Structure 1
Amino acid sequence: MADRSSDRGPPDALQNRFHSERANKERQWQLVFTKYTVNPLQPDEFLNLLHRAVLVPRKKYSEPQTESQEIGWNTTPLVPLDRTDRRFYFPRRITEITIHGYPAPRGEKS
């Protein structure tokens, strides 16, 4: 069985002329916009859109929009912080290990 692409010869001149004429007519009616401006009748709407695009998701939406936004969406603590309650408040403490990284060996210096 012969390959179909080899059976066809080069496109004929009439077809080429038809395709070029059609492409020219399509280009004639095609509008290409290269300059974009703000609508002079409603400039505030555009500015509000720009200001909203800069906001973080927590200020844009009342609820998370994706699964990954659910993590950390509610940042208010469930229990109020009470510095006198030792169960929930663990202040940093200064010890030998935290000052120097590792305790220095005690004894004679070499």
Structure 2
Amino acid sequence: MSGNEKLDTVHQNAIHIETIRKEQRHQRLHTEFSINPRRKLHILPDKPMSRKPPEVIEENSDFIEAFHKARQEPTMKYTMPMTESQEIGWVSAPLVSSNRSDRRLNFCRTSTDITRHKESALRSGS
């Protein structure tokens, strides 16, 4: 059948039935729900004029553990970077230990007679 011809009611119904069967084949019923640990929680306070006692919420240790794990930095959560952008800066430890007395790697600000003269000229505004 070419794209220019109109489908009659029988063919449209057959296509609709096939679509429904495909959707039902891949459908799953989810019965377990939990709070997303990567989402910030907003706890709303009670109304100021309400007289009922506040609800006591039980502590769920699995949720708290998942929440803390989601808040960790990526190097603590994973052994290797998960994306290519995480590869940049993944190893944050310095390659060479810092030694302030080593003149090869430590470039402290030094001043000479010429630089002191120029600094004083800049400070005075002339």
Identify the TM-score tier after normalising by the shorter chain: 0.3 to 0.5
Point out the structure with max Rg over C-alpha.
1
Q: Using CA pairs below 8 Å that are at least 6 residues apart, which structure has the higher relative contact order?
A: 2
TM-score (norm 1): 0.47
TM-score (norm 2): 0.42
